[in-house]
Structures are given as structure tokens and as C-alpha cells.
């Protein structure tokens, strides 16, 4: 793992250890993604996901009965790349914090501990 990518995983772990959620852009890591939360057709979404609105500039916000939550998408996400595109060793990672209190994370069925274990495994 390239040092720049490792730093991003470590930053995610730091947030998770504080009880904050994180999301990634790609489903190739087994972590919750922004696409798990927002789809272009929210009418087909279930539960609280129907409340999510795109606020512009890559910011998404939603609400449960226990509070608000938000996350970034697209260019507003944190992006890190290492190596040259198309070359051996190239890596990229796009991620963002999931801003929500613990009760809201529970409403969203977001398991901070499970995600933390996945990130730790990626770092080992």
C-alpha cells in the first residue's frame, strides 16, 4: 500500500475510533458507500434514505427522527491517488466522513465497529 493511501485509511480509522462514520465511493472495499445512501431516484429508496437531498456542491443531507446526517459526494469527497494512472502500483481512494450522531448512525444501520474492523484489516 502506497504511503498516501495508507494515510487516508489511517484518517478514516481515526474518525471511526471517535465514533464517526465514513463512506467511500467504490464498493470494492466492502465498506459503506455514498451510493448505499443516495440514489438518483430517492422515491425508490427505503426508510430514511428518502430524506436525503442533494444540497449542491457535492453536499448531501438527510434526517432521521433522532437527528440530521450528511456526507460529501463527487468532487467534494477526499481524494487521494498514488502512482501514475495506468501504471503498476497506481492506487486511488475517494472517501468522506458521515456526519451523524451515534443515535442517527444506529437509525441508519451503520455499524461503526464493523466498519472499523474492515479498515483495520485493510491496514494490516
Banded pLDDT at 14 (limits 50, 70, 90): very high
- The string over 61-90, giving b where at least 16 C-beta atoms fall within 10 Å of a residue's C-beta and e elsewhere, is ebebebeebbbbbeeebbebebeeeeeeee
3-state secondary structure of 31: coil
Measure the CA dihedral 25/8/119/28, to 10°: 30
pTM comes to 0.87
Q: Where are the domains of the chain?
A: 3-123
Q: Which of 27, 118, 38, 112 is nearest to 76 (CA)?
A: 38
Per residue in 28-67, pLDDT (tens digit) is 889 999 888 765 555 665 655 677 888 889 899 999 999 9
CB-CB contact of 110 with 98 (8 Å): yes
Amino acid at each position: 500500500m502506497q504511503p498516501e493511501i495508507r494515510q487516508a485509511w489511517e484518517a478514516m480509522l481515526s474518525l471511526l475510533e471517535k465514533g464517526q462514520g465514513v463512506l467511500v465511493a467504490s464498493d470494492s472495499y466492502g465498506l459503506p458507500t455514498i451510493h448505499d445512501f443516495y440514489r438518483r431516484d430517492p422515491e425508490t429508496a427505503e426508510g430514511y434514505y428518502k430524506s436525503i437531498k442533494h444540497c449542491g456542491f457535492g453536499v448531501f443531507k438527510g434526517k432521521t427522527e433522532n437527528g440530521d446526517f450528511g456526507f460529501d459526494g463527487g468532487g467534494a469527497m477526499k481524494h487521494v491517488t498514488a502512482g501514475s494512472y495506468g501504471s503498476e502500483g497506481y492506487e486511488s481512494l475517494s472517501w468522506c466522513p458521515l456526519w451523524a450522531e451515534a443515535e442517527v448512525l444506529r437509525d441508519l444501520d451503520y455499524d461503526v465497529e464493523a466498519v472499523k474492523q474492515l479498515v483495520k484489516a485493510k491496514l494490516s
